[in-house]
């Protein structure tokens, strides 16, 4: 005879209240499962919010960089334009005023 073959009848006879106590563990486990499911849903929601917000943030950064590059290109074009204008202006070639 193994240990459990003797221990289980002994336990049942000496402590019969362990049976409803064990039975109580089942609905309690279901309560725990419910809380775990709720917590899981909440964490998933947080993660979704974070993903969505981080995506939006990345989009804003990319937009900012794009507009900055556009601005720099425009500044460069203006400077080039001014340089060419200065080069080809005839006023510069006139003699100084008397």
The contact set with other proteins (CB under 8 A) reads 8, 12, 16-17, 19-20, 22-24, 26-27, 29-31, 33-35, 37-38, 41
CB-nearer residue toward other proteins: 4 or 85: 4
Choose between 29 and 79: whose C-beta lies nearer to other proteins.
29
- Residue that is written with structure tokens 């005879």 in the block: 1
Please state the closest distance from residue 17 (CB atom) to other proteins, in A.
Answer: 6
Q: Dihedral (C-alpha) 13, 17, 21, 22: value to the nearest 10 degrees?
A: 20
* Nearest distance from C-beta of residue 19 to other proteins, angstroms: 5
8-state DSSP, 17: T
- Integer Cα distance of 91 and 84 in angstroms: 14
């Amino acid at each position: 005879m193994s240990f459990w073959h003797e221990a289980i009848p002994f336990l049942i006879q000496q402590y019969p209240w362990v049976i409803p106590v064990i039975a109580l563990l089942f609905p309690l486990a279901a309560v725990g499962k419910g809380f775990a499911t709720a917590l899981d849903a909440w964490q998933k929601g947080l993660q979704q919010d974070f993903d969505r917000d981080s995506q939006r943030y990345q989009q804003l950064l990319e937009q900012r960089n794009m507009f900055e590059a556009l601005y720099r290109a425009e500044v460069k074009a203006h400077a080039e334009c001014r340089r060419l204008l200065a080069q080809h202006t005839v006023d510069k070639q006139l003699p100084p005023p008397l």
